[in-house]
Amino acid sequence: MQAFFTYLLQVNIALALFYLLYAVAFKRDTFFQLRRLFLLSVILFSMLYPFFAVPALAELVPFSFSRGEEVRSEVLIGDVGWEVFGDEEVVASRSISWTTLLAVLYWTVTAAFILRFLVQLFSVYRVWKRSERRLLLGNVVYCPAKEVTPFSFFKWIFIHTDAYSEQELQQILFHESTHVKQWHSIDVVITELLCLFFWWNPFTWLLKREVIMNLEYLADNHVLHEGVDSREYQYHLLRLTYHESAVPIANNFNVSQLKQRIMMMNKTKSPALRVAKYLIALPLLFLFVVANSVYAGQDESVRLSEVTSDIIDAEALLQTNEYATIVAQESNINQEPGEPIFQVVENAPEFLGGQEGLMKFLSENTRYPVIAIDHGIQGRVIVRFVVTKTGKVSNVEVMRGVDPSLDREAVRVVEAMPAWKPGTQKGEAVNVYYTLPIVFKLPADTKKESQPVDAGKSDGEKRSDESGVSQKLSIVLDSGERVYETVDVAPEFPGGVNGLMQFLSANIRYPVEAQEKGVQGRVICRFVVKKDGSTSNVEVLRGVDPSLDAEAIRVIESMPAWKPGTQKGEAVNVHFTIPIQFSLSTGTKEDNQSGDAGKSDG
């Protein structure tokens, strides 16, 4: 929705500037055909240019867009990707989404205008249905049942022939035939559609008025070229001033701006050399393309900072799945020659078969190195690679390693992946970075800590870093029921990852006490999703501050029933771990050391 509102803003800025250019430079000349071409061109350009970006143009501009310093509070799931904004005093989730309210208002009013447009179209059809078909000076016209101002709509010409003299009918026919032959109704319909969707921009209505007026200038000019006396024709227009218009959407013989039409008929023709002034529109067109190219090339996390990401940190799933995905904040840095590489896009790349297909592939193809088993080495290898716009996997690299043998195996299995469904940005397939943590874990009887990856971590964090690849472990609840750490089918929050993020967004409250003290950090909580879907046994594996820990526990305990995990087709109790990061982002932001103590930079 944010992207849609951004598009509306871009279009309407262009429409406003083009109208101002027209009003200042072109409105008073007599190049009516050229003006028609200009008006239609800038309308179509304004609606289409946001979809086109030229990376080469963006590199020519030495500046970038910036939102400036912004004081905000945010709650993140994991380390990156998702945030909730509040004011400086209290970080309350937004019970009412202003984006949603604006969207509802916009589409409600738009729907009303669309209904009005359909009614106008039906009015034309109704007048046509009730009109008598007649032949006037060799042309087919339709005589309405009641006297109305003559008008035309595409190939139909409506004239109440009984109300005018033969001379007047000839002038009217010349006028309306021009509208028909030059397809002026297309211009009218385009401007009507423009007003349907950009009704809130006054420049849209001004452009519509100018387009319709210019069509009348064209028709009037044709009548005078046919040899009709100018003064007589103008008097005829004055006699029609108070006649009722049948439908507002059509090309009416008499429109309200009669004074302007008469003045334009008496105006001296503009010198042909002044046609060159229309070339000044070209630099403005070029500037819009450059601006959009620069805008599209900026850090998406800056201009879309209030958009809730659809990504949950991998560690929220590591306790119930062997593999997960970590995606960083969006940007298109680290470009290869001529090809930008995105880290987050509108539609992320997808392994064929989705998350389950990815886990199945890794489970079937990952081989635990014998040397690592002999030495009791285990841990999490974080691998980053590029899913190209053709779906191929390339540029595999280890972002955080454990042991050379495990690192090599992680790279090998990633390079062996089949083609993915590529990610898309603005409807086009693009190259996208993808980060995958692969956990190597030994069975319980041979379990040893891997110093390169786990050194310095608390016991709770070590547990949160592990997910069984070799076997399924279990513990027992107080009630005597077994609790699994990993299962065949993981528990799922109602609505999936998006539903979980929306729930947390709507229910998490950043404690005021923590804000005042500048306390922030990541609280890792573990709980049990029972076989009936309820949550229980909430505990803090790694805390930050009593107030933040209590808030994390409170919101987890208030969760609705989950879809339980299953083992061999039966619902079972499953442990689930969620790291929730509380972060205050201000101009003097300081990290809370208690929240990240002992963690490596990775």
Report pLDDT digits (tens) over 453-511: 333 333 333 333 333 333 333 344 555 578 887 788 889 999 888 788 888 878 888 88
Pick the residue with more confidence: 283 or 465? Answer: 283
Pick the residue with more confidence: 13 or 356? Answer: 13
CA 252 to chain centre: 40
Q: What is the tens place of the pLDDT at every residue in 510-523?
A: 888 888 888 888 88
User: Residue 83: which of 346, 384, 313 has the closest Cα?
Assistant: 313
Give me the mean pLDDT over the 193-212 stretch.
Answer: 92
Say whether pLDDT at 303 is over 50: no
Cβ(573)–Cβ(481) below 8 Å: yes
pLDDT computed for residue 597 by the predictor: 31
Band of residue 244 on the pLDDT scale cut at 50, 70, 90: low
Q: What is the tens place of the pLDDT at every residue in 147-182?
A: 788 889 999 999 888 888 888 888 888 898 999 999
- Select the highest-mean-pLDDT range: 209-218, 435-444, 496-505: 209-218
Q: Compute the distance between CA of residue 410 and CA of residue 401 in angstroms, rounded to an integer.
A: 9
Q: Compute the distance between CA of residue 518 and CA of residue 520 in angstroms, rounded to an integer.
A: 6
Cβ(474)–Cβ(482) below 8 Å: yes
Say whether pLDDT at 269 is over 70: yes
Q: DSSP label at 519?
A: -
Pick the residue with more confidence: 303 or 404? Answer: 404
By DSSP bridging, strand 132-136 and strand 139-143 are antiparallel
Q: Compute the distance between CA of residue 467 and CA of residue 320 in angstroms, rounded to an integer.
A: 7
Pick the residue with more confidence: 577 or 67? Answer: 577
Cβ(257)–Cβ(221) below 8 Å: no
Give me the mean pLDDT over the 8-14 stretch.
Answer: 90
Say whether pLDDT at 589 is over 50: no
The pLDDT > 90 percentage for the chain reads: 24
Q: What is the tens place of the pLDDT at every residue in 550-561?
A: 898 999 999 999
Cβ(512)–Cβ(90) below 8 Å: yes
pLDDT computed for residue 59 by the predictor: 59
Band of residue 36 on the pLDDT scale cut at 50, 70, 90: very high
User: Residue 207: which of 45, 346, 403, 396 has the closest Cα?
Assistant: 45
Sign of torsion, CA 42 44 50 51?
Answer: negative
Give Cβ neighbours of residue 263 (< 8 Å, ≥ 6 apart). Answer: none
Pick the residue with more confidence: 299 or 85? Answer: 299
User: Residue 249: which of 115, 144, 119 has the closest Cα?
Assistant: 119
pLDDT computed for residue 251 by the predictor: 62
Say whether pLDDT at 241 is over 90: no
Range list of H helices, 158-309: 166-181, 184-197, 202-225, 230-239, 258-265, 281-296, 300-303
Say whether pLDDT at 329 is over 90: no
Q: Compute the distance between CA of residue 474 and CA of residue 537 in angstroms, rounded to an integer.
A: 15
Q: Compute the distance between CA of residue 593 and CA of residue 92 in angstroms, rounded to an integer.
A: 24
Q: What is the tens place of the pLDDT at every residue in 37-66?
A: 999 999 999 999 888 777 666 556 554 444
Give me the mean pLDDT over the 371-381 stretch.
Answer: 83
Band of residue 600 on the pLDDT scale cut at 50, 70, 90: very low
pLDDT computed for residue 561 by the predictor: 93
pLDDT computed for residue 2 by the predictor: 67
- Select the highest-mean-pLDDT range: 249-253, 341-345, 442-446: 341-345
Say whether pLDDT at 205 is over 60: yes
- Rg (C-alpha) for the chain, rounded Å, is 34
Q: DSSP label at 24?
A: I
Which burial class, exposed, middle or buried, applies to 202 when counting CB atoms under 10 A from its CB (0-12, 13-18, 19+)?
exposed
Q: Compute the distance between CA of residue 83 and CA of residue 106 in angstroms, rounded to an integer.
A: 25
Q: Which residues are paired to 343 by β-bridges?
A: none
pLDDT computed for residue 57 by the predictor: 66
By DSSP bridging, strand 482-484 and strand 521-529 are unpaired
Cβ(337)–Cβ(322) below 8 Å: no
Q: What is the tens place of the pLDDT at every residue in 22-34?
A: 999 888 888 889 9
Sign of torsion, CA 371 374 377 380?
Answer: positive
Q: What is the tens place of the pLDDT at every residue in 385-421?
A: 999 999 999 999 998 888 888 888 999 999 999 999 9
| CA-CA-CA-CA dihedral for 110, 113, 117, 120, to nearest 10 | 170
Task: Spell out the domains of the chain, with CATH numbers in brackets.
Answer: 2-290 (no CATH), 309-456 (3.30.2420.10), 472-602 (3.30.2420.10)
Give me the mean pLDDT over the 272-288 stretch.
Answer: 86
Does an H or E element contain 74, and which? strand 72-77
Cβ(237)–Cβ(254) below 8 Å: yes
Q: What is the tens place of the pLDDT at every residue in 85-97?
A: 333 333 333 345 6
By DSSP bridging, strand 482-484 and strand 565-567 are unpaired
Tokens of 28: 């008073």
Cβ(575)–Cβ(528) below 8 Å: yes
What angle (nearest 5°) sits at the alpha carbon of residue 501, between those of residues 497 and 504? 140
Cβ(57)–Cβ(207) below 8 Å: no
Ranking 38-47, 114-123, 237-246 by mean pLDDT, the lowest is: 237-246
**For residue 543, which amino acid is it?**
G
Q: Compute the distance between CA of residue 173 and CA of residue 180 in angstroms, rounded to an integer.
A: 10
Mean pLDDT of the chain: 75
List b or e across 493-515, with b for residues whose CB sees 16 or more CB atoms inside 10 angstroms.
Answer: beeebeebbebbbeebebbeebb
Tokens of 563: 């879809």
pLDDT computed for residue 332 by the predictor: 36
pLDDT computed for residue 256 by the predictor: 52
